[in-house]
């Protein structure tokens, strides 16, 4: 199973999820509302959780930015589930 470590950022609406492997194949990827899900299947999965405004992937981490009213207590475990399902092949 993939190891995912959520870490706070200076922005209270963003959390950095550090992975034990690369999150992208080379170049950084940003997924925003209206982006084509084919461009970033992982971004689309995380965005579909609701309350998410931006997903940024580079190196060995994924940064998720939430809407002001969304709750990290609910989102963090769901984002971790999606990351583990995407990289580990496990069902979410």
Provide the residue-wise pLDDT of the chain in tens; the chain has 92 residues: 899 999 999 999 999 999 999 999 889 999 988 888 888 889 999 999 999 999 999 999 999 999 999 999 999 999 999 999 998 864 44
| CATH number, domain with residue 68 | 3.30.1370.70
Q: pTM score, two decimals?
A: 0.91
Cβ-contact 17, 87 below 8 angstroms: no
Count of the separate structural domains present in the chain: 1
* Chain position carrying tokens 């609701």: 50
Q: In what order do the strands lie in the sheet with 4-8?
A: 4-8, 14-19, 61-66, 52-58, 29-32
* pLDDT score for 70: 97
The domain in which residue 76 lies consists of 4-88
* pLDDT score for 38: 83
Q: 52: Cβ–Cβ under 8 A, 6 or more apart, which residues? A: 46, 64, 65, 66, 67, 70, 75
């Amino acid at each position: 199973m993939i190891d995912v470590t959520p870490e706070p950022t200076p922005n209270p609406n963003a959390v950095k999820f550090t992975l034990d492997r690369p999150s992208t194949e080379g170049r950084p990827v940003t997924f925003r509302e209206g982006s084509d899900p084919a461009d970033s299947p992982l971004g689309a999965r995380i965005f579909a959780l609701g309350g998410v405004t931006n997903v940024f992937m580079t190196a060995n981490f994924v940064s998720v930015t939430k809407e002001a009213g969304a709750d990290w207590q609910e989102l963090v475990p769901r984002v971790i589930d999606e990351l583990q399902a995407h990289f580990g092949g496990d069902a979410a």
